[in-house]
Amino acid sequence: MTTDPKPRLDAGTILTLIVEVGLPLASDLIDLFYRAGSVSADDWTALRAKTRTPFDDLVPARPGGES
Amino acid sequence: MSQMLHHGRGRVSILLAVFFLLASACHKSPARLAYDSIDGATTAVQASLKAFNILYQQGIADEADRTKARAAYETFQKVAVAASYVAEAATTPDERAAAIRKTSEAAVAAISTLDDLSAEVKARPPTGGAK
């Protein structure tokens, strides 16, 4: 049984990034790097809401069509 | 000279930024893969259903067809919702892989049923438009 790999950035990469692109952009990119691999509880909830879209919303009954 | 250095530095910065964006897009975790797979399967099934809806709203498909489409969609829904709970709670890639497999199989079955239904409806002789 294997466990989930956790991608990490080493300190050297983070420092190089801060020096090269500046702290604000580096911060955004690092945040993006870590968020790309994770799924929050809100994401799962939103996915279930999408999956639970009622059939009648996607195929509404025609007027006088449903018996 | 300093302008050249500045120009070169800007290029390195852009290259680094692009590298990071690519790296972040490529290192999808099993959780993200499971999420994207279930999301993609749901989008595909709902797209098939929307295609069927056009036929139904035009009066080409009837209520019996709509009942079959509902059954296909609701079967998929049950599997996809269950798979999303499994994938969220999973601690190993194997568990998530199983959730992805179940969702994919359910999506293939639902899309196949909906596409066959739409093809069958289109092949029927016209009955005189919407009821």
Percentage of residues of chain B with pLDDT beyond 90: 61
Residue A5 has pLDDT above 60, yes or no: no
Q: Residue window 27-56, chain A: list those with CB within 8 Å of chain B.
A: 29, 32-33, 35-39, 41, 43-44, 47-48, 50-53, 55
Backbone dihedral region for residue B92 (phi beyond 0: left; psi -120 to 50: alpha; all else: beta): beta
Largest Cα span, chain B: 80
- Mark yes or no for CB contact B16/A17 under 8 Å: yes
For chain B, how many residues are written? 131
**Is there a contact between A16 and B16 (Cβ–Cβ < 8 Å)?**
yes
**Is there a contact between B116 and B107 (Cβ–Cβ < 8 Å)?**
no
Q: CB neighbours of B1 closer than 8 A, spacing ≥ 6?
A: none
pLDDT of residue B50: 94
Give ipTM to 2 decimals.
0.75
Query: For residues B9 and A53, which has the higher predicted lDDT (pLDDT)?
Result: A53
For A14-46, the pLDDT digits (tens) are 888 788 778 888 887 787 777 666 788 999 999
Whole-prediction pTM:
0.71
Q: CB neighbours of A20 closer than 8 A, spacing ≥ 6?
A: A26, B9, B12, B13, B16
Structure tokens given for B24: 């972040």
In the structure, what pLDDT confidence band is assigned to residue B131 with cuts at 50, 70 and 90?
very low
Q: CB neighbours of A38 closer than 8 A, spacing ≥ 6?
A: B29, B31, B32
CA pseudo-torsion sign B20, B25, B27, B31: positive
Helix (H) or strand (E) holding B126: none
- Mark yes or no for CB contact A3/B91 under 8 Å: yes
Separation of CA B18 from chain center: 27
For B40-57, the pLDDT digits (tens) are 999 999 999 999 999 999
For B118-129, the pLDDT digits (tens) are 999 999 887 654
Task: Report the number of secondary-structure helices (H) and strands (E) in chain A.
Answer: 4, 0
For B55-99, the pLDDT digits (tens) are 999 999 999 999 999 999 999 999 999 999 999 998 887 888 899
A18 part of contact set with chain B, CB < 8 Å: no
pLDDT of residue B54: 95
Percentage of residues of chain A with pLDDT beyond 70: 81
Residue type, position B59, single letter: G
